[in-house]
Amino acid sequence: MNAVLFHEFGGPEVLRYETAPDPVPKAGEVRVRLKAAALNHLDLFLRGGEREKNIPLPHIPGCDGAGTVDAVGEGVTSFVPGDRVFISPGMSCGTCSACTGNRETFCPSYHVLGTRENGTYAEFVCVPASNLGFLPEKLSFNEGAAVPLVFLTAWHMLVTRAEIQAGETVLVQGAGSGVGSAAIQIAALHGARVIATAGSDEKLAKARLLGAEGVINYRSQDFVDEVRTFTGKKGVDVVFEHTGGEVFAKSITALGRGGRLVTCGSTTDYMANVDVRYIYSRQQSVLGSWMGWRHELDHLMKLFDAPDGRKLNPVVDTVFPLRDAADAHRRMAERKNFGKIVLEIP
């Protein structure tokens, strides 16, 4: 099969488009003929060596994907060749108390597809049947690849962890990212007022189209001052944060009394110098969140195929052919994208 691999850690230039052995499905697995894979910041961290340095090389990255069932392993009866499917990227054992209790992210072996085993930057990938779902008819393969990781992450952060309520105000940091563009839609769907930050006016205009009521250019405006103006000095109820560092620290000061900051990552800096006086005096909560639970993904996927019209929409920024994965990585690293970057697989 054709695939994108890296034989050493480094910049985008280490990604090579070459042939690799076709994977063979084991018992309980399904081989998917991929039509599209989507990029995530995790792919850049993995390629650069910041994460999972002990993976065997060469390695095929990628955790998001959509395509058709090509073959099934022994014991698989839920899918047949030709089925249109999306991949749920959370990998777990399926048998521990966390997995059977529908809280897979607490499984000791939980990880993201493509971080320990070969991923989706390829014509074929094998995954457990439990990690597949039927792709909604109204979604293309490119759109289907753009949904799972970021929408699941944003849903778990806002709905499950932060428990957003109608009428609350939510500050979404980094609206141009895949997870940020998903968060705007999910918050608006739940009746929240959304303030979004981004680094260009072009991205802010797109954030408004997704449902943001207030927008802040963090390159030319102080987001804490703008939040105070927007909320009449009360602060926001929820901050949706995924960049870390100074943004995390300043976001605490943008929260109002009883506010909740929920974070899923640190794409700029994992260290933050926080003034804890805000947290205890305003009785705020800081919530960690990692990916989400499969039953949440199954629920939200229905919102892309609702009988009365889509409730959520994938945001696809750019589509590259698989062989140009290095250019796709460069676009993400330079933060030029608004929404998801997708690799189309012939």
Q: Where are the domains of the chain?
A: 2-147+314-344, 151-288
Sign of the torsion angle spanned by Cα atoms 24, 26, 30, 34:
negative
136 φ, ψ (degrees, to nearest 5): -55, 140
Instruction: Give every CB contact of residue 266 below 8 A, 6+ residues apart in sequence.
Output: 242, 243, 244, 245, 248
Helix/strand/coil (H, E, C) string of 165-223?
CCCCEEEECCCCCHHHHHHHHHHHHCCCEEEEEECCHHHHHHHHHHCCCEEEECCCCCH
Reported confidence tier of residue 102, pLDDT bands at 50, 70, 90: very high
Tokens of 237: 């109820």
Is residue 298's pLDDT more than 90?
yes
Residue-wise pLDDT for 200-245, tens only, equals 999 999 999 999 999 999 999 999 999 999 999 999 999 999 999 9
Is residue 340's pLDDT more than 80?
yes
Domain 2-147+314-344: CATH architecture, name and number where available = Alpha-Beta Complex (3.90)
Which pLDDT score, from 0 to 100, does residue 341 have? 98
Q: Is 99 helix (H, G, I), strand (E, B) or coil?
A: helix
Which pLDDT score, from 0 to 100, does residue 53 have? 78
Which pLDDT score, from 0 to 100, does residue 272 have? 86
Which pLDDT score, from 0 to 100, does residue 308 have? 83
Class of domain 151-288: alpha beta
Question: How far apart are the C-alpha atoms of 149 and 317, rounded to whole Å?
Answer: 16
Reported confidence tier of residue 51, pLDDT bands at 50, 70, 90: confident
Reported confidence tier of residue 253, pLDDT bands at 50, 70, 90: very high
Instruction: For residue 131, give the DSSP letter.
Output: G
Do the Cβ atoms of 187 and 240 come closer than 8 Å? Answer: yes
Do the Cβ atoms of 160 and 298 come closer than 8 Å? Answer: no
Burial of 314-325, coded b for 16+ CB within 10 Å and e otherwise, reads bbbbbbbebbbb
Is residue 252's pLDDT more than 80?
yes
Which pLDDT score, from 0 to 100, does residue 259 have? 97
Residue-wise pLDDT for 145-168, tens only, equals 999 999 999 999 999 999 999 999
Sign of the torsion angle spanned by Cα atoms 249, 250, 256, 260:
negative
Domains 2-147+314-344 and 151-288 share a fold: yes
Helix (H) or strand (E) holding 19: strand 15-19
pLDDT above 90 coverage of the chain, percent: 93
Which pLDDT score, from 0 to 100, does residue 184 have? 98
Tokens of 157: 């952060």
Which pLDDT score, from 0 to 100, does residue 288 have? 96
Question: How far apart are the C-alpha atoms of 148 and 155, rounded to whole Å?
Answer: 10
322 φ, ψ (degrees, to nearest 5): -50, -40
Which pLDDT score, from 0 to 100, does residue 282 have? 95
